[in-house]
Structure 1
Amino acid sequence: MILVFCIVLGLVQWGYVEAACDVVTKKQWDGLKPLHVEYLPRPVNIVIIEHTATPGCSTDAGCEELVRNIQNNQMEQLNFWDIGMSFLVGGNGKVYEGSGWLRVGAHTYGYNRRSIGISFIGNYNTDEPTADQLEAVRKLIQCGVDKGHLTSDYHLLAHRQLISTESPGRKLYREIRTWPHYLENATSIMNNS
């Protein structure tokens, strides 16, 4: 009986990990369960900002539909275990759970087992990130530090600093370069492979 209680308590607490950071959970956006799970050793010290390079969204229904479509594409076409990003943020200012704080994502080849990937929904070569999106990501990162998922001295990087991509788009890249913890020279954390 005690074992059952401990298991139930653990599952309840695990479910609140994302909710504690004001994140729309996978259950709430009607996401699929992952096919396989690999747990992320925490705390991590790298936060990677990227964009989806899809149309943007500004309503709850529109953002949830886009997140589901991204997950379906990544799992069915790319054979990912789950949606690749740790978190996604819509133009409505809401953060959506991807692989989350606890599980290894598939967002930046070579860095997935030691970072969190936060993807802005939209194409930020052409779109400007909204004030609500920017504030939501700042709060998410601070919550990650407060909850012990991120180190207090984490490094913030643009996706393009680590792999050959335009992500997170010129306009979002220009913005995050002004944020605390932004690491201009990524050489010290880059893979040598």
Structure 2
Amino acid sequence: MRAKTIITLFAALTCILNSIKADCNVVTKKDWDGLEAVRVNYMARPVDLVIIQHTVSPFCKTDARCAELVRNIQNYHMDTLNLDDIGSNFYVGGNGKIYEGVGWLHVGAHTRGYNSRSIGISFIGNYNNDTPTTEQLDAVKALIKCGVDKGHLIADYHVVGHKQLIATESPGRKLYNKIRSWPQWMQDVSSLKQ
């Protein structure tokens, strides 16, 4: 009887953890054929900061191509940069789908000095050249709303562009121009600087 109870509890806990990991209509790491992390650090949640960036890779429009690019990014991060996993928490394709990176629960490796207190969302493409689609922008807004609803983000979170925190062109001029109109965008980031 006790063994059956333990198995039932283990199954229930596994279901709960999988639902947390794959919530918010995200294409899971398993679904895009991602590798498991070498090591993980858990994020203290909820956080109050969303950092928008771009991958400076080709743009993608199809499910197959977007998944391929996310795999390529993970391979580069793990094999060349020697990271424990893919860098950002989430990736958004030109197909309007969100791809799980390290997800809501784990600390990413996207913005030195801010990883343990933020969610990094990377748009697949180069947004100095590419224009973010309405589908991409709506998908990210829905992801963020879901993050608030699920307790991963605080209700009065802030959105910033990657370049506001470190010396980079990311998220690219065309994407940066879009996020600057979002009501949660934070213009003065001096209070965030360490």
* TM bucket, shorter chain: over 0.9
**2:165 pairs with one of 138, 156, 162:** 162
CA distance in 1, matches of 2:10, 2:71: 29
Deviation of 1:4 (Å): 3.2
Deviation of 1:43 (Å): 0.2
Which residue is 1:130 aligned to?
A: 133
**2:98 pairs with one of 92, 95, 109:** 95
In structure 1, what residue type is equivalent to 2:77? Q
Deviation of 1:102 (Å): 0.2
Deviation of 1:13 (Å): 1.4
CA distance in 2, matches of 1:101, 1:69: 21
| Counterpart check, 1:185 vs 2:188 | yes
Question: What TM-score comes out, normalization by structure 2 length?
Answer: 0.96
CA distance in 2, matches of 1:190, 1:15: 34
Deviation of 1:18 (Å): 4.0
In structure 2, what residue type is equivalent to 1:33? E
CA distance in 2, matches of 1:79, 1:31: 16
Deviation of 1:9 (Å): 1.7
In structure 1, what residue type is equivalent to 2:171? P
CA distance in 2, matches of 1:157, 1:8: 39
Which residue is 1:104 aligned to?
A: 107
Deviation of 1:77 (Å): 0.4
In structure 1, what residue type is equivalent to 2:107? V
Taking only the aligned residue pairs, the percentage that are identical comes to: 59
Deviation of 1:3 (Å): 3.2
Which residue is 2:116 aligned to?
A: 113
SS in 2 for 1:151: strand
CA distance in 2, matches of 1:35, 1:3: 28
Which residue is 1:143 aligned to?
A: 146
Aligned length: 191
Gaps of 5+ in 2: none
CA distance in 2, matches of 1:18, 1:37: 13
Which residue is 2:64 aligned to?
A: 61
CA distance in 1, matches of 2:33, 2:183: 34
In structure 2, what residue type is equivalent to 1:145? V
Q: Runs of 4+ in structure 1 displaced over 6 angstroms?
A: none
| Counterpart check, 1:153 vs 2:156 | yes
| Counterpart check, 1:49 vs 2:52 | yes
SS in 1 for 2:158: strand
CA distance in 2, matches of 1:6, 1:45: 33
**1:13 pairs with one of 11, 16, 21:** 16
CA distance in 2, matches of 1:7, 1:167: 42
CA distance in 2, matches of 1:182, 1:80: 29
In structure 1, what residue type is equivalent to 2:139? A
SS in 1 for 2:190: helix
Radius of gyration: which is bigger? 2
Question: What TM-score comes out, normalization by structure 1 length?
Answer: 0.97
SS in 1 for 2:42: coil
